Homo-oligomer: A and B are copies of this chain.
Amino acid sequence: MKIIGIDPGSRITGYGIIRKEGNRLIHVDNGAIFTDAHKDFPLRLQRIYRGLTEIIENHAPDAMAVENIFFATNVQSALKLGQARGAAIVAGVNAGLPVYEYSALQVKQAVVGHGRAAKEQVQKMLKALLNLPEVAQEDASDALAVAVCHAHSVGLNTLRGKLK
């Protein structure tokens, strides 16, 4: 199965695509969509929507994973982040993908093994886990991390199903 992880933001939206083959995780693609801060906000939201829609069409993933966000510096940044997140999620559901949400704690636990890992630890672990040539761009790295989290979660659910 193929998973697209996303890390939405009004300036930069990271994405990361991995394939899960049995217990192996294989890196497929990662990158970031940049929006022009000089453009009207509605056009920036469209850029996120269209960019992700194109990436989903190219890679045809089976599921989308996104980190659940409960914190923001203030109401203003929460409103901006929320709108970017809304545009990104609608791109997923409109492409027919189930969208899964995971907490930052779940993501860190899945990648590093515990929930208090520093960002750099997560990035290094991802590089090793996915055999990346180099540490990915920050937002793309966060997107890969939540994709890995979903891959683990799918595995666990399958295992739980088998144990019943």
Contact = CB atoms under 8 A, between A and B. Distances in A.
A147 to B, nearest CB: 16
Interface string A30-68: 000000000011110110010000000000000000000
Nearest to A86: B86
A82 B86 contact: yes
A43 B93 contact: yes
Nearest to A72: B75
Interface of A: 40-43, 45-46, 49, 69-72, 74-76, 78-87, 89-90, 92-94, 99, 101
Nearest to A53: B94
Contacts of A49: 90, 93-94
Contact of A71 (B72, B75, B92, B101): B75
Contacts of A84: 82, 86
Given A75-B74, A83-B82, A90 B41 contact: no
Contacts of A78: 72, 75-76, 78-79, 82
- Which of A43, A80, A83 is packed against the most chain B CB atoms within 10 Å? A83
Contact of A79 (B45, B82, B89, B90): B82
- Which of A46, A70, A82 is packed against the most chain B CB atoms within 10 Å? A82
21 contacts: A41-B101, A42-B89, A42-B93, A46-B90, A46-B94, A49-B90, A49-B93, A70-B75, A72-B78, A74-B75, A76-B78, A78-B79, A78-B82, A79-B82, A81-B82, A82-B82, A82-B84, A83-B85, A83-B89, A84-B86, A90-B90
B85 A46 contact: no
